[in-house]
Amino acid sequence: DTGVSQDPRHKITKRGQNVTFRCDPISEHNRLYWYRQTLGQGPEFLTYFQNEAQLEKSRLLSDRFSAERPKGSFSTLEIQRTEQGDSAMYLCASSLDGGGSPLHFGNGTRLTVT
């Protein structure tokens, strides 16, 4: 068990460009989550998957954001036409199915939009 892995660790992009982040969860975990954290704040829920099914999306996830988990293993989060307000730490987490199983977070991808 190597924990939740995220790539890249840092991404700097110009406004208007598209970016894609990858998350590899803990292997036996069925659930995968995306959260966003801005400076001085706690993480905020974006979306989550149960296996390959995306079960809920936050209103924070605008139409420019899309997340996939095609085979129920790794996940990608794409942001199209990035804006400066998208600058944040994007955190991925995974857990076992329900019952309050705690979320285990990766080290995040820090996005800076210039």
Partner 1 sequence: GEDVEQSLFLSVREGDSSVINCTYTDSSSTYLYWYKQEPGAGLQLLTYIFSNMDMKQDQRLTVLLNKKDKHLSLRIADTQTGDSAIYFCAESSNDYKLSFGAGTTVTVRA
Contacts of 69 (CB under 8 A, 6+ apart): 32, 49, 51, 52, 54, 75, 76
How far does Cα 52 stand from its chain's mean position?
14
User: Measured over all CA atoms, what is the biggest interatomic distance in the chain, rounded to whole angstroms?
Assistant: 41
Query: In the range 61-100, which residues lie near partner 1 by CB under 8 A?
Result: 91, 93, 98-100
4 binds partner 1 (CB under 8 A): yes
Q: Could you tell me the smallest distance in angstroms from the CB atom of residue 61 to partner 1? A: 13
Q: Could you tell me the smallest distance in angstroms from the CB atom of residue 97 to partner 1? A: 9
CB-nearer residue toward partner 1: 22 or 80: 22
26 binds partner 1 (CB under 8 A): no
CB-nearer residue toward partner 1: 70 or 102: 102
Contacts of 87 (CB under 8 A, 6+ apart): 38, 111, 112, 113
Sequence letter at residue 13 = T
Footprint of partner 1 on this chain (CB under 8 A)?
4, 6, 31, 33, 35, 40-45, 48, 55-56, 91, 93, 98-108, 110
